[in-house]
Amino acid sequence: MIIEGSLSVKAVLLAKNRIIEKIIIDDKKKDKDIGFIIAKAHEYNVVVERLDRDKIDELASGKTHGGVLAIAQARNYQTLDNCLEGNPFICVLEGVEDPFNLGYALRTLYSAGCTGVLLPNRDWSHSETTILKSSAGASEYIPLILSDDLATDIQACKDRFGCKAFAAMRKDALTYFEHSYKEPILIAIGGEMRGLSKRVLEIVEHNIYIPYANDFRNALNASSAVAAISFEIVRQRNYSSSND
């Protein structure tokens, strides 16, 4: 696949979650970012090729590449064991199929210290470049686990690693401010169209919801819900007193 833009190319270089066959750079482009990419490519024994802009435009799918491309193989994914050391913060994203929305969610989760994201096992390759761009490269850095059975993997997080499991679901729920997230946790968030599946909801013991300031009755999109809940976790884990 072809990865476009210096931010995305830098992320795939540094994250080391895929094999990069070649990096292609506009032969007239010279700046600090380009110097960094070339230095890292040489350090990691990745071929760098300089081409004129017209040839790069022919290779790219869009015009926002900024003269930087990488030809790379598919991403390597992680396992639960890679993500549950220390004080885990796992997020399950189910039914979030729009690549922009997923990218925004991964960007937020990475910045909030999420230790791993469980996604339904499917072929994400056609969406990867969009996810990479919309996540500002975070999708390469954050551990991702493709799950064949989300409910089974959630149960494993609870049984093996002591994660307390929460679902963003209004039924029989408390506000997300009313729980503690200082211990190992798993947060399950569904897409706006279908939400979380019945099997996932059956395995999660606590439902939480985001209270609104008015009578608006529509759900937030997944990336907005992720942002609200994730930074409450950041607040509690890093900025609250021991008595909170």
Write down the pTM of the prediction. 0.92
Does residue 144 share a domain with residue 108?
yes
Q: What is the pLDDT at residue 242? A: 58
pLDDT in tens, 173-197: 999 999 999 999 999 999 877 789 9
Does residue 180 share a domain with residue 153?
yes
* CATH assignment of the domain containing 132: 3.40.1280.10
Is residue 18's pLDDT more than 70? yes
CB neighbours (10 Å) of residue 71?
Answer: 16
Greater pLDDT, 31 or 62? 31
Q: Report the number of distinct structural domains present in the chain.
A: 2
pLDDT band at 220 (very low <50, low <70, confident <90, very high): confident
Token duo for residue 164:
């307390």
- 149 occurs within a structural domain: yes
Q: How far apart are the first and last CA of the chain?
A: 48
* CATH assignment of the domain containing 54: 3.30.1330.30
Token duo for residue 158:
């609870």
Domain boundary residue among 23, 53, 72? 72
Q: What angle do CA 28, 29, 33 make, to 5 degrees?
A: 165
Q: What is the pLDDT at residue 165? A: 97
* 72-87 mean pLDDT: 89
Average pLDDT taken over every residue of the chain = 92
Does residue 106 share a domain with residue 218?
yes
Domain boundary residue among 28, 51, 72? 72
> Is residue 3 classed as helix, strand or coil in its secondary structure?
strand
- 30 occurs within a structural domain: yes
Distance of alpha carbon 233 from alpha carbon 235, whole angstroms:
5
- 88 occurs within a structural domain: yes
pLDDT in tens, 149-172: 999 999 999 998 899 999 999 888
Domain boundary residue among 14, 40, 72? 72
Greater pLDDT, 188 or 32? 188
Does residue 133 share a domain with residue 52?
no
Does residue 139 share a domain with residue 90?
yes
Does residue 123 share a domain with residue 45?
no
Q: What is the pLDDT at residue 192? A: 76
Contacts 24+ apart (CB under 8 A), 135-138: 135/102, 135/103, 135/104, 135/106, 135/107, 135/110, 136/7, 136/107, 137/7, 137/8, 137/10, 137/11, 137/15, 138/11, 138/103, 138/106, 138/107, 138/109, 138/110, 138/111
- 243 occurs within a structural domain: no
- 225 occurs within a structural domain: yes
Does residue 108 share a domain with residue 48?
no
Token duo for residue 79:
């396992």
Does residue 84 share a domain with residue 53?
no
Rounded to 10 deg, the angle between the 222-238 and 99-111 helix axes is 0
Does residue 68 share a domain with residue 134?
no
Does residue 158 share a domain with residue 37?
no
Q: Which domain holds residue 184?
A: 80-238
Q: What is the largest CA-CA distance in the chain?
A: 61
